[in-house]
């Protein structure tokens, strides 16, 4: 397949853009709250996703594929799980460092691998599962301090982050299922179509909710439109590259390579938030890089 390994640079770009988007959303959380910052990536990201789809259709001289019940159902599931995952992640970030919260959410790949094998029939060899397990163990080493007591205050952000990771796993499976269920179109058109569909669902649902339950946060996000627009663009661009990855390989491959976001988050924490990096965290990040490297060696064979 001519584009067989395009998922690798696409995933790396997605990770870089997602790190930037998380930083933008975190800065908005203190201004407009968790729900307000959650909806920004959808409401302000949808117009950019529509531009991406239009550009792909014009460039390839084709129309978007028709969307059947299976694709609609998978995408709706992915959209709902992503809303829950984003809200839980931002809530955890208010209580723990940016880097550690990112690490908690990245317990996702093992769950993605299992769900993908069971629900979508994605191939999962023992060696590939070992690579995913090593990288995920590195995440645990990064986030768990030796001898740290699990008080209620310390347990809450851990639970929020890990459950967020589970929701991100189910979201990835839903979106890959939606892309696979489309009847025609090349990988770029299929990825862009599901991105627009998913963001449209999320925007409609969250905007309705905020109009009913949290109207001030919606007005605040509109009032802070410059920062919201930045987060929306970064979110849409990151999702575009995630979805390109999903259209070309299993969600487990994409999400495991995406663990490079953890070292990126550590760098961001040190430079922007003056959050230090311990030897334990360096060891964990080395395990992440090792697991990701093994996955890539397997994939490139």
Please state, rounded to an integer, the average pLDDT across all residues of the chain.
81
> What tens digit of pLDDT does each residue of 226-273 get?
888 888 999 999 999 999 999 988 888 888 888 777 776 666 666 655
Which of 2-16, 153-167, 228-242 reaches the highest mean pLDDT? Answer: 228-242
Q: Tell me, yes or no, whether 3 lies in a domain.
A: no
- Would you place residue 67 in the very low, low, confident or very high pLDDT band (cuts 50, 70, 90)? very high
pLDDT of 187 > 70? The answer is yes
Which range among 130-139, 142-151, 254-263 shows the weakest confidence by mean pLDDT?
142-151
State mean pLDDT over 284-293.
Answer: 78
Q: Tell me, yes or no, whether 257 lies in a domain.
A: yes
Angstrom distance (rounded) from CA 284 to CA 166: 20
- Would you place residue 301 in the very low, low, confident or very high pLDDT band (cuts 50, 70, 90)? low
Q: Tell me, yes or no, whether 151 lies in a domain.
A: yes
Closest CA to 52 of 258, 221, 242, 202: 242
Which of 15-29, 63-77, 239-253 reaches the highest mean pLDDT? Answer: 63-77
Q: Tell me, yes or no, whether 2 lies in a domain.
A: no
- Would you place residue 42 in the very low, low, confident or very high pLDDT band (cuts 50, 70, 90)? confident
Q: Tell me, yes or no, whether 62 lies in a domain.
A: yes
Q: Tell me, yes or no, whether 175 lies in a domain.
A: yes
State mean pLDDT over 139-163.
Answer: 68
pLDDT at 147 (0 to 100) = 58
Closest CA to 294 of 73, 100, 125: 125
- Would you place residue 69 in the very low, low, confident or very high pLDDT band (cuts 50, 70, 90)? very high
- Would you place residue 1 in the very low, low, confident or very high pLDDT band (cuts 50, 70, 90)? very low
Domain count, the chain: 1
Question: Which domain range does residue 109 map to?
Answer: 8-300
pLDDT of 279 > 50? The answer is yes
> What tens digit of pLDDT does each residue of 78-115 get?
999 988 887 788 777 776 666 667 667 777 777 787 77
Q: Tell me, yes or no, whether 226 lies in a domain.
A: yes
Q: Tell me, yes or no, whether 247 lies in a domain.
A: yes
């Amino acid at each position: 397949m001519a584009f067989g390994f395009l998922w690798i640079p696409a995933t790396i770009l997605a990770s870089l853009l997602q790190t930037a988007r998380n930083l933008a959303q975190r800065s908005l959380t203190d201004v407009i709250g968790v729900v307000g910052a959650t909806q920004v990536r959808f409401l302000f990201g949808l117009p950019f996703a529509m531009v991406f789809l239009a550009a792909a259709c014009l460039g390839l001289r084709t129309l978007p594929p028709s969307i059947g019940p299976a694709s609609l159902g998978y995408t709706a599931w992915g959209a709902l799980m992503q809303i829950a995952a984003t809200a839980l992640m931002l809530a955890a970030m208010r209580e723990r460092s940016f880097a550690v919260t990112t690490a908690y959410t990245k317990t996702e790949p093992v769950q993605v691998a299992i769900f993908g094998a069971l629900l979508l029939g994605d191939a999962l060899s023992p060696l590939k599962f070992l690579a995913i397990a090593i990288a995920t163990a590195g995440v645990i080493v990064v986030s768990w301090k030796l001898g740290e007591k699990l008080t209620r205050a310390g347990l809450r952000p851990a639970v929020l982050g890990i459950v967020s990771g589970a929701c991100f796993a189910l979201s990835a499976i839903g979106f890959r299922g939606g892309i696979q269920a489309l009847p025609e179109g090349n990988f770029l058109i299929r990825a862009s179509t599901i991105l627009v569909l998913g963001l449209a669902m999320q925007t409609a649902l969250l905007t309705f909710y905020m109009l009913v339950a949290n109207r001030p946060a919606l007005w605040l996000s509109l009032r802070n439109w410059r920062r919201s627009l930045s987060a929306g663009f970064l979110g849409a661009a990151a999702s575009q590259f995630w979805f390109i990855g999903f259209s070309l390989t299993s969600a487990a491959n994409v999400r495991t390579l995406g663990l490079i976001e953890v070292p990126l988050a550590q760098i961001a924490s040190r430079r922007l938030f003056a959050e230090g990096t311990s030897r334990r965290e360096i060891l964990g990040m080395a395990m992440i890089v090792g697991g990701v490297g093994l996955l890539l060696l397997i994939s490139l064979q």
